[in-house]
Chain A
Amino acid sequence: MTDTLYYQPKSVDEALQIKAELGAEGTFLAGGTDVVVGIRKGKLKVARTIDLSQVPGLDGIRRHDGFLEIGAMTTHKALEQHDVPAALAQSCETVGGPQIRYLGTVGGQIGTASPAGDVSVALIALKADVELRSAARGTRRLPLDEVFVGPGKTVIADDEMVTRVFVPLGRRSDFYKIGKRDAVAISLVMAAASVGPAGDVAIAIGCVAPVPLRIKRAEALLDARGLSDEAVDEAATIAREDCSPISDHRGGADYRRAMAGTLTKRLLSRLREVTPVKAKPAESSAEVA
C-alpha cells in the first residue's frame, strides 16, 4: 500500500473546501468498499483521501414533494430495510454480502461509476436525478444516466461531490440480476425497468456497455405503443442492438447481449401484469431524516 494523506472533514462545506483545493488529487472515501480494496490491490492510485464518515447530514431517506430523497452516504443496508421502490430495494439486496451492504453507500456507487453497479442501474430505471454540489458553484441536478461517461468516468467535476439522489415516487419497478453465483457476486448481467403513473417506461441494463445503459430507443417505442407483446419483443430486440458488451472471466459478450433482450422482455412482462410489484415494508423509521 502506498502512503496517502488523509483528511477527515466535519461538515459538507469543509469537505467541499478540501476537495476544491485538492481537485483530482483528492478522492472521497464513503463506505470504502471500492476505494480501500482498490488501494490495497494497487489498482487505485489515491494521493489524498477525504473521509466523509464524520460529515453529518449526508445520509438519510425522506419523502418530499413527490420524490424519495436519498442522502449520498445512505448505505445499501439502510435502503434495503426502508420502504423504497421495488427495483431499488432488490438491487440493494443483491449488492455483495451483508458486510459490504452495511458499508457501501449510494453516493459511493455513483462515484465508482462501474457498469456493473446494481444500484445505479436500478436508479436509472427509476428515472432518478442526482444532486452535485461544489463550494464555488453550489448545487446542480441532473438525470443519473447523464452522469456516467465510461468505466470509472463521470461528469462530476473535480471540485464536486454527490450529495443527494432524487427518486420519483409512484413508479412500479422491477430488477433482475444474473450473477456467477447467488450472492457476493458481481453481476454477470442485470437490468431494471419501471412504469410511471402515466404509463411511461424506463429501462436500464448493467454490464453490457461501458456505462450502466439506459435503453432510450426502446423507451420511446414503448411510450408510443404501450406494452403490447409485439412492442415488448421489439424493445428486447432494441436492447440487444443498443448494447456493446465485452467478454471477461464472468461471461461472454454473446451471452450478455442475449440477456439484454431476455431481461428486458422479462421485466416488461412482469410490469405489465396488473398486480403492482410490492415494495418491502419499512422495518424502521430511524433512517428517515
Chain B
Amino acid sequence: MAKRVKAKLGFPGHIESVEIELPPGEPAPWDADSKLAVIGKDATRHDALAKVTGKARYTTDIKRPGMLYARVLRAAHAAAEVQQIDVAKAKKLAGVKGVVVLPVRNARFVGQPLAAIAATSEDVAARALALCKVSYKTRPFVVQLDDAMKAAAPAVHAGGAGASAGAGKSANIRKSKSRRRGDVAKGLRAAKHKVEATFRTQVVLHSSLEPHGIVVDYKDGKADVWCSTQATFAVRDEIAKALEIPVARVRVHAEYVGGGFGSKFHAGTHGLLAAKLSRQTGAPVRLCLDREEEQTATGNRPDSLQRLTLGADARGQLSAMKTVSYGTGGIAGGAGTASPLYNLYDCKSKAAVEHDVYTNAGPAAPFRAPGHPQGAFALEQAIDMLAERAGVDPIAFRINNDKNPVRQAELRRGAERIGWDARRNKKAGGGAKLGAHGELRRGIGVANGLWYNTGRARGEIHVKLHHDGMVEVISGGQDIGTGARTLLAMVVAEELGLSPSAIRTHIGDTSGPYAPGSGGSTTTPTMSPAARKAGYRARLRLEALARKVLGLGDDAALVFADGKVQSKDGGKQISFKKLCARLPEQTMTFSGPRAPNYKAYRETTAGVQLAEVEVDIETGVVRVVKIVAVQDAGRLLNPLTARSQVNGAVLQGMSMALFEERVMDSQQGHVTNANLEQYKIAGAVDVPEIDVQLFDVYNGSNSTGALGLGEPPIVATPGAIANAVYNAIGARVMALPITPARVLAALAAAKKGGAR
C-alpha cells in the first residue's frame, strides 16, 4: 500500500520539507533529520587487507586443474580483406590443444581478433600464433580524425554494413545525435558578447591495472567463468549464448576486479573465444590479455573536435549556446561531447549536434563519464572567454546563469577554499614572476561538472540471518573498486544496529541475486536501497519476534543499536545474537528488490572544481599545484571511500589534461604507444594537493538517498586546469593534452595577436 511521508531534503541552509509517496513496503528515506550510527562515518574497506596483502584473488590469479592457456591471433593490417587464416602448422605444434578461427572477412584495425589458440602454456600458445599464416589483401586505411573526415577518405566500413557516402562527403561521418531547444540564431543575433571557438581533445585509454581476462571451465553442459568484469550478469548471458546453454548453467565469478572504468561491460571477443576453446578441448581455458592488447583493442575514450558558439547579452546572461562536434572512437562507439553544453546553464536557446567518425582503430568503450570531461573542457573554457568579454567574474557568471542551488553553493565553497578573490590573477597572465629566473606563473581556474543518475528499479539484495547471529549480505553484482561491498554491509548494519564489520558480504557471483552492471554511477544508488530494503524486512521480522520475547505490545517501538534490541525506554532488551537464536528457522533469507525511485530533491548531481597551476613560460611545463573538488552525490554513505572516488577521478582527469594520449601511426596504422612505458599516466610525484570537499545533499530519491559518485568528479578537472593555465599565462590552450609544446605555441600566438 502506498504511503505518504514528509522528508527533510536538500542541504544545510536549504532544507525543504518534501512530501514523498512511498512505494508499498518501502522504508521512509533517510533524510536530514535521520540520526544514523554507521552511515556517513568513515568505514575501512572490508577487502582492504585482502587487497594489500595479495590475498585477494583476481581473474588473472585463477588456476584450475588441467587449465590451458590461450592467446589471440590478431590482424596485422588496419584495413584488409582476410583471404585465408591457415592454422595447420600451429595445430601440429606439441602442446597445442585447441584452435578457434573467427569468420572474419574484413580486418578493420590492427589488433582485431582473428583466431585463438589454447595450449599447455602461454609460451606454447605464443609460439603457435607465430606459426599461423594469414593471407591479406590490404586496402587503404585511415587512422586520424581529420583524415577520416575528408571526402576522399577510405571508407572504414567498406565491404560491410556501415555508412555509405553521399557525393563529396566522407563515408566515415555519422550524425549521431542532434538536440535543440529555442532559437539559437535569434539568441546569437541578440547577443552583445559572442565567443566562437574550436577545441580538441585526444584519445585516452582506460588502462585498468588488471587487463581484461577470463577463465572458462566448461564441463557437462555447465560453465564456471571467472571474469574481470563490471557486469557479471551480462557476461553470464553472453557466455551462455556462445555455448548454447541456459543462463542458469553458467556461473560467473568476479570477486575482485582490478578496475574497469567502462571498458568491462562484456565478455568480449576474447571471452567468447575462451568459452569456445573450453568446449572444444574439454578443459578450463584461461585467456588474459597482455598490456599491448589491452591498450589496442579493449576500448578508448574517443577524441573530439568541438566548435562552440556562445552568446550573452550586455549583462552577461546567456542568450544562445551551440556546439557541433566530431570525434572518433575507431571502428565503433559514440563520440558525443555535447551533453555538458546541453545540460549545464539556464539558456533558452541551445543546439547540440554530434557526429561519430569512423577510423581504422580499436572500438571505443564507455569511459568514466563518457563525453563529459571532453565536453566540459570546451564548454568551461568558452564560458570563461565569454565571461571575460562581458567583464564578469567567471564564478559570478556561472552563478548568474545557473539556478541550481547545489552548484551555486558548491561554487561559493570552492571559491573560499582556493582563495579565489585574493589569489586569482585579476588580469590573466598578470601575476607575480616566480621561480629563480622569473620563469614561473601561477593561475587559478574553475569549471562546473554534472551527472545524472539516481539509480534504477533493477536488481535485489538478499540478507541472511543465521541462528548464531551471523548476518550475510548477498549480491550477484560486482565491486569494481568503488567500495560497493563495504557500502552494502554498512547499510544493513545501520538498519540492524550492528557494526559493519559484523556483517559478511558476498559479492561477484551470479549464483547470488541479480544486479545490473556497474555503469553510469548507478551501483550505489541502485544497490544500497535494495540492501536497505532487505535489511528493513529482516528488521521487521526481528521486531515482531522481539516484541513477543520481551513481552511488549504489538505497536511498541524498538531500538536496534550496539548489537542489542531494546524497548524505546530502554527498560527491556535482548542481544541481537540471542534474538536470532529464537528465530523459527536456522537461517532466514530476506529479499530486497530495488523499488522505483521516490520523489527526488534533485535528479542530477552537480560538482565543481577549482585548480591552481604553475606554468614555466620558458619550457611550457605545467604543474598542477592544487585541486579543490567540491562534490555532491546525494547522501554520502561512506565518506572515506567517497573521498577515494574523488581523488581517483581528479587524478585521472589531471592525467588526461596533461599527459595521456594514444598515438596512431598514420603510415602503418597501429597504436605506437600501446604500453604504459610510452603511454604516460600521471605518477605519484605529479599528484597535486587535492582538497576534497564532500557536499551532502539529502536527496530522497530512494531509501538511502545515495546517488552515484564514480563518474561525476572527473567531468570538471580538465576544464578547471585549462582555465587555470589561461589565468596563469594569459594564453589559451585549446587542445588536450596541455603539453609543454602547446603551452609555448599558445604563448607565442597570444604575443603575436596581442592580448586576447
Q: Is the CB of A182 within 8 A of B619?
A: no
Query: B190: CB under 8 A from chain A?
Result: no
Query: A151: CB under 8 A from chain B?
Result: no
| Alpha-carbon distance A22/B684, docked complex (angstroms) | 43
User: In terms of DSSP, what is the predominant structure of the interface of chain A?
Assistant: mixed
Stretch from B35-43, B310-318, B693-701, B737-745 at the A interface = B737-745
* Interface residues in A261-281 (C-beta closer than 8 Å to B): 262-263, 266, 269-270
Query: A137: CB under 8 A from chain B?
Result: no
Chain A residues near B621: list those with CB within 8 A.
178
How many inter-chain contacts with C-beta < 8 Å in the A-B complex? Answer: 50
Query: A225: CB under 8 A from chain B?
Result: no
Query: B752: CB under 8 A from chain A?
Result: no
Query: A180: CB under 8 A from chain B?
Result: yes
Stretch from A64-72, A140-148, A245-253 at the B interface = A245-253
Chain A residues near B683: list those with CB within 8 A.
181-185
**Which residue from chain A places its CB closest to the CB of B618 in the assembled complex?**
A262
| Alpha-carbon distance A181/B621, docked complex (angstroms) | 9
Q: Is the CB of A181 within 8 A of B682?
A: yes
Known: A181-B682, A182-B683, A266-B618. A251 touches B739 (CB 8 A): yes
Q: Is the CB of B659 within 8 A of A249?
A: no
Chain A residues near B739: list those with CB within 8 A.
251, 255
Name which of B619, B621, B673, B684 has the most chain A CB atoms within 10 A of its CB. B619
Query: B686: CB under 8 A from chain A?
Result: yes
Query: B663: CB under 8 A from chain A?
Result: yes
Q: Is the CB of A252 within 8 A of B659?
A: no
**Which residue from chain A places its CB closest to the CB of B673 in the assembled complex?**
A249
Query: B668: CB under 8 A from chain A?
Result: no
Contact indicator per residue, chain B 657-668, by CB within 8 Å of chain A (1) or not (0): 011000100000
Contact indicator per residue, chain B 678-692, by CB within 8 Å of chain A (1) or not (0): 101111111000000
Known: A249-B672, A258-B744. A182 touches B685 (CB 8 A): yes
Known: A178-B621, A178-B740, A249-B673. A269 touches B682 (CB 8 A): no
**Which residue from chain A places its CB closest to the CB of B676 in the assembled complex?**
A184
Q: Is the CB of A183 within 8 A of B680?
A: no
| Alpha-carbon distance A184/B684, docked complex (angstroms) | 10
Contact indicator per residue, chain B 427-438, by CB within 8 Å of chain A (1) or not (0): 000000000110
Q: Is the CB of A255 within 8 A of B744?
A: yes
Known: A181-B686, A249-B672, A266-B437. A254 touches B741 (CB 8 A): yes
Query: A259: CB under 8 A from chain B?
Result: yes
Chain A residues near B740: list those with CB within 8 A.
178, 188, 251, 255
Contact indicator per residue, chain A 224-251, by CB within 8 Å of chain B (1) or not (0): 0000000000000000000000000111
A181, A184, A255: the one within 8 Å of B741 (CB): A255
Q: Is the CB of B678 within 8 A of A183?
A: no
**Which residue from chain B places its CB closest to the CB of A37 in the assembled complex?**
B677
Chain A residues near B741: list those with CB within 8 A.
251-252, 254-255
Chain A residues near B437: list those with CB within 8 A.
266, 269-270
| Alpha-carbon distance A258/B743, docked complex (angstroms) | 13
Distance from A245 Cβ to chain B, minimum over Cβ atoms (Å): 12
| Alpha-carbon distance A263/B621, docked complex (angstroms) | 13
Known: A184-B683, A254-B741, A255-B741. A249 touches B619 (CB 8 A): no
Chain A residues near B682: list those with CB within 8 A.
181
Chain B residues near A183: list those with CB within 8 A.
683-686
Chain A residues near B620: list those with CB within 8 A.
255
Q: Is the CB of A180 within 8 A of B618?
A: no
Distance from A205 Cβ to chain B, minimum over Cβ atoms (Å): 13
Distance from A30 Cβ to chain B, minimum over Cβ atoms (Å): 20
| Alpha-carbon distance A262/B744, docked complex (angstroms) | 12
Distance from B124 Cβ to chain A, minimum over Cβ atoms (Å): 14
Q: Is the CB of B659 within 8 A of A180?
A: yes
Chain B residues near A180: list those with CB within 8 A.
659, 680
Distance from A6 Cβ to chain B, minimum over Cβ atoms (Å): 19
Q: Is the CB of B680 within 8 A of A259?
A: no
* Interface residues in A148-178 (C-beta closer than 8 Å to B): 178
Contact indicator per residue, chain A 39-77, by CB within 8 Å of chain B (1) or not (0): 000000000000000000000000000000000000000
| Alpha-carbon distance A184/B659, docked complex (angstroms) | 13
**Which residue from chain A places its CB closest to the CB of B662 in the assembled complex?**
A249
**Which residue from chain B places its CB closest to the CB of A270 in the assembled complex?**
B436
Chain B residues near A251: list those with CB within 8 A.
739-741
| Alpha-carbon distance A270/B436, docked complex (angstroms) | 8
**Which residue from chain B places its CB closest to the CB of A259 in the assembled complex?**
B619
Chain A residues near B658: list those with CB within 8 A.
181
Distance from B738 Cβ to chain A, minimum over Cβ atoms (Å): 12
**Which residue from chain B places its CB closest to the CB of A180 in the assembled complex?**
B680
Chain B residues near A181: list those with CB within 8 A.
658-659, 680-683, 685-686
* Interface residues in B606-631 (C-beta closer than 8 Å to A): 618-621
Known: A252-B741, A254-B741, A255-B741. A185 touches B680 (CB 8 A): yes
Chain A residues near B685: list those with CB within 8 A.
181-183
Give the interface of A toward B (CB within 8 A): 178, 180-185, 188, 249-252, 254-255, 258-259, 262-263, 266, 269-270
Q: A258-B744, A270-B436 are in contact. List 4 more A-B contacts (CB 8 A).
A: A181-B683, A183-B685, A185-B683, A269-B437
Give the interface of B toward A (CB within 8 A): 436-437, 439, 618-621, 658-659, 663, 672-673, 678, 680-686, 739-741, 744
- The 5 tightest CB contacts between A and B, nearest first, are A255-B741, A182-B685, A180-B680, A183-B685, A249-B663
15 cross-chain CB contacts under 8 A: A178-B619, A180-B680, A181-B682, A181-B685, A183-B683, A183-B685, A184-B683, A188-B740, A249-B678, A251-B739, A251-B741, A254-B741, A255-B741, A255-B744, A258-B744
